[in-house]
Amino acid sequence: MNNHVFESVLKLNVNEKPREKLLLKGAESLSDAELLAILIGSGYKDRNVEAIALDLVKVFDMYGFPPPVAVVSAVRGMGTAKTSLIFAGTEFCRRRFMPDQKRISSPGDMYPFIRHYADREQETFLSISLNGAYEIKEIHVVSIGILNRSLVHPREVFSRAISCNAAALVVAHNHPSGSVEPSSEDREVTRRLKDAGEILGISLLDHLVFSPQGYFSFMEEGQL
């Protein structure tokens, strides 16, 4: 291989590496896996950094943010050092650049985070876990289908809130018909969840029934 060809190959390989790609094209040009690969820094034994990063993307897709620390550290090739770096880096950015992005002070603040579910053809029931500062910790799909007592059992609704140490909970579901008037079943489910929350020590702050046009808030209407 002559020097000219060798230099061309080196340039191509360098440009495809995440760090060099970031410097040349900006961080916004990188995929999620490439960004994580930079944070991780290196592979481990028989696993390269790209394989570890792809596994982490799957974890974030499955659990949202933040995923359980134990799940991240269990990814083969991570360990405590790389796991600590991931969580420290993302939490620092959240605090510095998005401190109020997910802080909820009214039902209207919640609506933008769930509105994209409004056009689903089936009723989608969501549980939104909040921390003590009323920041969203997780939005979880509890069930898909016609809302009834069997699909929306308190055990299913509160299990994720308990696992992520939520201080409070908001539930919500869409009405494919477009009407946000709650049904008798909606009211019954709300009552049961409120009672369960009082027993578990996780307050049910609100139940939103929503559509692409707007929402009904049990709290705002004085029905919770």
pLDDT tens digits for 89-102? 887 776 666 555 57
Q: Which residues of 163-187 are buried (b: 16+ CB within 10 A; e: fewer)?
A: ebebbbbbbbbbbeeeebebeeebe
Count other C-beta atoms under 10 Å from residue 50's C-beta: 15
Tens-place pLDDT, residues 115-164? 888 888 888 899 999 988 888 888 888 888 765 544 678 888 899 899 88
Q: For 208-222, what is the mean pLDDT?
A: 94
Inside any domain, residue 205: yes
Q: Which domain holds residue 145?
A: 107-217
Tokens of 44: 């481990």
SS3 state at 124: strand
- Adjacent-strand bridge partners of 129: 138, 169
The reply to whether 115 and 133 lie within a common domain is yes
pLDDT exceeding 90 applies to what percent of the chain? Answer: 31
Peptide bond into 212 cis (omega under 30): no
Query: Of the candidates 113, 142, 101, which has an alpha carbon nearest to the alpha carbon of residue 210?
Result: 113
Inside any domain, residue 62: yes
Query: Of the candidates 140, 108, 127, which has an alpha carbon nearest to the alpha carbon of residue 189?
Result: 127
pLDDT at residue 192, rounded to an integer: 93
- Most confident residue range from 68-72, 76-80, 102-106, 215-219: 215-219
The reply to whether 20 and 56 lie within a common domain is yes
Q: Are 25 and 9 in contact (CB under 8 A)?
A: no
Tens-place pLDDT, residues 103-113? 788 888 899 88
The reply to whether 112 and 196 lie within a common domain is yes
Inside any domain, residue 102: no
The reply to whether 49 and 135 lie within a common domain is no
Inside any domain, residue 213: yes
Inside any domain, residue 175: yes
Give the chain's mean pLDDT.
83
The reply to whether 80 and 115 lie within a common domain is no
- DSSP type of residue 179: -
pLDDT at residue 64, rounded to an integer: 74
Among 32, 66, 97, where does a domain finish? 97
Q: How far apart are CA 40 and CA 50, in angstroms?
A: 9
The reply to whether 89 and 21 lie within a common domain is yes
Tens-place pLDDT, residues 9-61? 333 333 468 888 888 888 888 888 888 888 888 888 888 888 998 898 888 87
Q: How far apart are CA 84 and CA 178, in angstroms?
A: 45
pLDDT at residue 148, rounded to an integer: 52
Say whether pLDDT at 187 is over 50: yes
Q: How far apart are CA 51 and CA 112, in angstroms?
A: 34
Inside any domain, residue 223: no
Inside any domain, residue 87: yes
Q: How far apart are CA 27 and CA 5, in angstroms?
A: 29
The reply to whether 119 and 212 lie within a common domain is yes
- How many domains, the chain? 2
pLDDT at residue 1, rounded to an integer: 42
Residue 126: which CATH number? 3.40.140.10
The reply to whether 114 and 199 lie within a common domain is yes
The reply to whether 185 and 141 lie within a common domain is yes
Among 75, 97, 119, where does a domain finish? 97
Q: For 194-207, what is the mean pLDDT?
A: 94
pLDDT: is 66 or 72 the higher one?
Answer: 72
The reply to whether 207 and 135 lie within a common domain is yes
Inside any domain, residue 93: yes
pLDDT at residue 97, rounded to an integer: 64
The reply to whether 13 and 59 lie within a common domain is yes
pTM (predicted TM-score)? 0.56
pLDDT at residue 16, rounded to an integer: 62
Count other C-beta atoms under 10 Å from residue 20's C-beta: 13
Among 97, 118, 152, where does a domain finish? 97
The reply to whether 76 and 125 lie within a common domain is no
Residue type present at position 36? L
Residue where the block lists tokens 């929306």: 152
Q: How far apart are CA 95 and CA 97, in angstroms?
A: 6
Count other C-beta atoms under 10 Å from residue 103's C-beta: 14
Tokens of 48: 């390269």
Q: How far apart are CA 14 and CA 161, in angstroms?
A: 44
